[in-house]
A and B are shown apart, each in its own frame.
Chain A
């Protein structure tokens, strides 16, 4: 089926808790930063282990040699290869949530892809290969693909009923969509994601001298997540004296209090604690953005909101922190029929993201008639 015969407005993107066909991952590799794969790979193995009993796992690898390696690792650690397939697509990095296409379905349950432009989070990082991932997946799966004239990453939230929650700074930003107004952007998102209502949080500039560097310009998955059509878990850190809390999180909470769903209903808001203590960067692999000095303090505070909901299981980032158990319990209360698995994500977090940032949902669908 060719996309030029299709109307993108017939399609919509599902909420993460709706039924998945599978989850996509981009396997970490050493091509950009030697040593990176060694430090990161274990986390990917743990994610596959937790996911593949519940749904398919689609693993993107650089080449045949790397496919063989991952396959051997999965076999050696008794994870096996059930429900797992590989796609050889060259990538810059691991952030599949941000570079991969949005998977959208129409009323008949047929699948298409939305190929937002990916420019390395406002041209901070190399992204030429990552930006081609949607086209490559469309080819691999023989799916129609729509290409909106908009730069957008997967760091947004949907409630499954037509409401999209996102920060302004991560989209309405000259480093992504220069010259585009909020109306232009909303129009494009409405058309391609089946959205009718927007909740815009202020966000923050990743270059803010007091708050940054923050490479995504504040993706909403750091700050607030839908757990159902009307309930949002929001970041409620232990340290409420920090500049981040004062200037970002507190502002967002006020905005969420005034926000409504597409039907005009106020949101049910639930605080999500953060880790009690910061941790310090351990990696010796310098993945910093070119031309930016690493901050003097290597300390960083993780967050628990960056989870990934899959069929029957929720993967929650944990940090070896006293609050891990509390966070797992809270997530479990909102997803009572799923296992809740904590994944040590300190290695990912050192590079600027959590579990949600390195996973991408593919919804169930019916095949196109050939």
Chain B
């Protein structure tokens, strides 16, 4: 169901005509079955009768955050990673992304390895869409936590914050940074399916980690925001609502999706209002 990650990522040209970029999808570094999901972009291309470009690299939509003016923001670990793109340097990767997504400037955050014993398991190797999101061309909402003692705070959130503070847009402008608090409490699984494994039979009972409100979807007239039944839900809805004043802000209960590693942005994929060439 992870439409964000298997794609397609839609692009438009100057005449407003629509095409698809068919990035290779390998199940987040070979962690999950992905043969059929990897076919989705070409199948959608066929269904809509639009051109499909196939860039020679692995990338998921959750690793892509753009400001609409030529800046691309992502984490290194989710793209420049031997489990996705072995042998490819940062330059190789930037060149391909520039070519296919119309990008001229990059903001790379450190990210984290999903196999890190202290921080993981995190199957996406820290997609940007859980960590930081553009709300306009120079303003970024970033994941923040009131718990400054956690290893996630120390090793990921704080590192990203420092990197965002020194980052600029394509025009050299510093970013305006707005903290978006994480849910107050950790998420624990309630289902017997998926990443949480068997609740009653699991040898080890672990939390799923911290949730994030960054994983929202902006649609025409509405923003869908993941909520958790958490004390910080209302705070997050308010902060996001302030950034999108012309849109309704709807909280969607994602507790069960989150058990499987993602939220609203991860399971949605926007199609721009481009024309379909005949």
Interface residues of A (CB under 8 A from B): 276-282, 298-299, 318-322, 324-325, 328, 339-342, 344, 346
Contact = CB atoms under 8 A, between A and B. Distances in A.
B94 interface: no
A318 B185 contact: no
A276 B188 CA distance: 12
A322 B207 contact: yes
Interface in B174-223: 184-191, 199-200, 205, 207
19 contacts: A277-B185, A280-B234, A281-B229, A282-B227, A282-B251, A282-B253, A299-B231, A319-B190, A320-B189, A320-B229, A321-B188, A325-B199, A325-B205, A328-B200, A340-B200, A341-B200, A344-B191, A344-B256, A346-B229
Nearest to B251: A282
A320 B231 contact: no
Given A282-B253, A322-B188, A342 B199 contact: yes
Q: Is the interface of A mostly helix, strand, loop or mixed?
A: mixed
B4 interface: no
A139 to B, nearest CB: 38
Nearest to B190: A344
Given A282-B227, A346-B229, A320 B200 contact: no
Contacts of B255: 320, 344, 346
A341 B186 CA distance: 22
A342 B191 CA distance: 8
B230 interface: yes
B37 interface: no
Interface string B144-187: 00000000000000000000000000000000000000001111
Contacts of B230: 279-280
B233 interface: yes
A64 B188 CA distance: 38
Contact of B188 (A282, A298, A324): A324
Given A324-B188, A342-B190, A344-B255, 10 more contacts: A280-B230, A280-B231, A282-B233, A282-B251, A318-B199, A320-B188, A322-B186, A324-B199, A325-B205, A328-B199
A172 B4 CA distance: 57
Interface residues of B, number: 22
Contacts of B256: 344
Contacts of A344: 190-191, 255-256
- Interface centre among B205, B227, B251, by most A CB within 10 Å? B205
Contacts of B231: 278, 280, 299
B150 to A, nearest CB: 14
Interface string B215-258: 00000000000010111011000000000000000010101100
Interface of B: 184-191, 199-200, 205, 207, 227, 229-231, 233-234, 251, 253, 255-256
- Interface centre among A319, A320, A321, A346, by most B CB within 10 Å? A320
B20 to A, nearest CB: 32
B227 A320 contact: no
A51 to B, nearest CB: 15
Nearest to B232: A280
A282 to B, nearest CB: 5
- Interface centre among A276, A282, A322, by most B CB within 10 Å? A282
B227 A324 contact: no
A235 B144 CA distance: 35
Contact of A342 (B185, B200, B233, B234): B200
Nearest to A42: B256
A214 to B, nearest CB: 19
A346 B227 CA distance: 14
A225 B267 CA distance: 42
A11 to B, nearest CB: 36
A280 B233 contact: yes
Contacts of B184: 277
B40 to A, nearest CB: 24
Contact of A318 (B187, B190, B251): B190
Nearest to A346: B229
Contacts of A342: 190, 199-200
Contact of B187 (A281, A299, A320): A320
Contacts of A282: 227, 229, 233, 251, 253
A283 to B, nearest CB: 8
Contacts of B227: 282
Nearest to A324: B188
Nearest 7 Cβ contacts at the A-B interface: A344-B190, A325-B205, A279-B229, A277-B185, A282-B229, A282-B253, A320-B190
Contacts of B205: 325
Contacts of A339: 200
Contacts of A280: 229-231, 233-234
A322 B205 CA distance: 9
A326 to B, nearest CB: 9
Nearest to B230: A280
A291 to B, nearest CB: 25
A342 B189 CA distance: 10
